[in-house]
Amino acid sequence: MTFSTNMSPVALLLLLVVTGSCVKCEQLNQPASATVQPGQRLTISCQVSYDLGYGTHWIRQAAGKGLEWIGYTCRGCTPVYKDSLTNKFSFTLDDSSKTVTLNGQNLQPQDSAVYYCARESQ
C-alpha cells in the first residue's frame, strides 16, 4: 500500500480505520470496572502484549475533568509518580503474565475516576 505525501491527515486516519491495520499494534487489557469503599485499597491490573522493558503509564480521568497522569513504570527502571500521588499509588510488574498493576491505598471519593494504562511510545 502506498500513501501520497499530499494525503490529508483526515484521509489517512479514515484509511487506517477502514483497513483496520497498523504497522505495530499493542494490546492492553484491563477490567471494565472496579469499586472500592473509602479508605480501602484498589488493585487494577493491565495485561499487555509488549515487553515490560517499555514504560507503562497510568492515567485517570474524573467525571467532567481532564486527564491526570499518575505515573509510569517499566522493568529495570525506578517508578516515577506525580508528586501529589506518590503516597497514594504504587506499581507492580509480573513478567510471567505480562501484567502491570496499579495499587492504590487510602482512596477517597475524590479518587473516583476512569483509570487507564497506556504504553510508552518507542
Q: Is residue 10 part of a domain?
A: no
Contacts with 12 (C-beta within 8 Å, 6 or more apart), sequence order: 3
In this prediction, residue 69 carries a pLDDT of 97
CB atoms within 10 A of CB 88: 17
Q: Is residue 19 part of a domain?
A: no
In this prediction, residue 52 carries a pLDDT of 85
Question: Structural domain of residue 45, as residue ranges?
Answer: 25-119
| Below-70 pLDDT ranges, the chain | 1-33, 122
The answer to whether the predicted template modeling score (pTM) of the entire model surpasses 0.85 is no
In this prediction, residue 3 carries a pLDDT of 30
Q: Is residue 51 part of a domain?
A: yes
| CATH code at position 74 | 2.60.40.10
The single-letter code of the amino acid at 57 is H
Q: Is residue 14 part of a domain?
A: no
Give the total number of structural domains in the chain: 1
In this prediction, residue 28 carries a pLDDT of 62
- Please state whether 18 falls in left (phi above 0), alpha (psi between -120 and 50) or beta: alpha
What is the C-alpha to C-alpha distance for residues 33 and 79, in angstroms, rounded to an integer?
25
- Unique residue bearing C-alpha cell 480521568: 61
Q: Is residue 85 part of a domain?
A: yes
Q: Is residue 1 part of a domain?
A: no
